[in-house]
Amino acid sequence: MTTYDVTVIGGGPGGYVAAIRAAQLGLKTAIVEKEHLGGVCLNWGCIPSKALLRNAEIANLLTRGKDFGFSFENLKLDYAVAHKRSRDVSGRLVKGVQFLMKKNKIDVYQGAGKLKDATHIEITAVETAPSVSGNAFTGVIESKHIIIATGARARSIPGVEVDGKAIITYRHALEITQPPKSMVIIGAGPIGLEFGYVFRSYGTDVTIIEMLPNAAPLEDEEVSKELEKHLKKMGINLLTNTKVESLAKAGDGVEVKAGGQTFKADKALIAIGFAPNSENIGLEAAGVETERGAIVVDSHYRTSVPYIYAIGDVNAKLMLAHVGSAMGIVAAETIAGVETVELDIEGMPRCYYCQPQVASMGITEKQAKERGLEYKVGRFNFQANGKALGLGENHGFVKIISDAKYGEILGVHLIGPEVTELLPEWVLARNYELTPHEVARSVHAHPTLSEAMMEAAEAVEGHSIHQ
């Protein structure tokens, strides 16, 4: 029986990063993956969807030719090409992860991993894609430490059967090679909004239904309201504060009843969140504690069983790929006994890649009020930013919420051009306890979108120069 210092169950962005960091620290490391290295993110989530979003951005730009002085006759958009490009991008990154496993001398087991006890993992061969993830394997391995990184799966609506054709989830949506004529999307979170943007850009008649009062319901209300204006301008039929009463197949399509209305469409995409993959992995046999399906962990991602850790979506702290990766590094460093950090989950970056983009970290203004905090707000509109005007993307704003007394950055909320690329400045500032004043006094190059960060920081104290 082979014995490892660390074995990771799950090869997604949390798992493979944890394995690499463990190997870098001199630990004999293995990874068990039943399907594809890179997990959902690289294969059926973050990466291919971003490739599709880029195609959608270009498609929208081409329809605005008049703004930039060019025109087309009979412009044709080929979604099949966009789909192929998304798969090519995904495949390239997956091969990169395979290379990193070899480079770091990590043993890859192709199979489904299940805990026999706290130190043994039973692996059952899965023949789906052995050439992608490693060699198909059946047997038992021993490990001094185990990191569970089994991710999560799309939630469905109780009583509704997802058939993968008319009623689909995000994964089925990424397999579509021709845009449907019509689609109802249930849920206005990141997945629903991003796919709504993609398919609407290729001519699909899109309806988005959200049970909560706003699109992007977890974001600052001002951001949500601004986003809703742009969604409606695109021709997306958005219904908020609306509960789905029924969803069923009807002929070759679907029928959705919501808010007293009936919607018929070719497809219905369910995008109402995720459930941790904590079943059938032997948690009971090892004595690992769960709560409502999520594995219970401490601040270094140890479970209730010594030497077993759980990272990423399976612990349900914050279901984002980059958060899983960060957790994986902390877990590996904790196992190796080297210096590490405790992650500020509330301060993690959160991003929507539809257009306009949305990016945020920390608390919303509503949450600041509910907590009884004394705070200040600084805003700066992209309408007054020279680079945004030059790009023809001058919508949206930057909003900063800071502690009134000490200047602590409580939350930052952005909507506008490339704001997902601008957010890390604020994550860094919060992590190292900078104030908006200190960000404002850092000279930002002109003309750049990042100047909006500086101006919003100045606006906290009422010193913004350009508004």
Active-site positions read 446
Please state, in angstroms and rounded to a whole number, the distance separating the CA atoms of residues 192 and 271.
Answer: 5
Kindly tell me the number of DSSP H helices and DSSP E strands found in the chain: 17, 25
Burial of 296 (0-12, 13-18, 19+ CB in 10 A): middle
Q: Are 380 and 462 a contacting pair, CB within 8 Å?
A: no
Does an H or E element contain 97, and which? helix 79-103
Please state, in angstroms and rounded to a whole number, the distance separating the CA atoms of residues 64 and 78.
Answer: 18
Q: Are 134 and 33 a contacting pair, CB within 8 Å?
A: yes
| 175, 180, 185, 191: CA torsion to nearest 10 | 40
Does an H or E element contain 184, and which? strand 182-186
Q: How far is CA 86 from CA 171, 296, 356, 357, 424, in A?
A: 13, 35, 21, 19, 25
Q: List the structure tokens of 147.
A: 């990191």
Mode of pairing for the β-strands spanning 244-250 and 237-239: unpaired
End-to-end CA, the chain = 68
Task: Return the closest-CA partner of residue 210 out of 269, 140, 141, 142.
Answer: 269
Q: List the structure tokens of 201.
A: 């850009």
- Rounded to 10 deg, the angle between the 190-201 and 46-62 helix axes is 40
> What residues does 352 pair with on adjacent strands?
358
Task: Return the closest-CA partner of residue 343 out of 328, 331, 326.
Answer: 326
Burial pattern 86-125, b for ≥16 Cβ within 10 A else e, equals: beebbbebbeebbebbeeeebbbbbbbbbbeebbbbbbeb
Where do the DSSP E strands lie in 240-305? 244-250, 253-258, 261-265, 267-270, 274-276, 290-291, 294-295
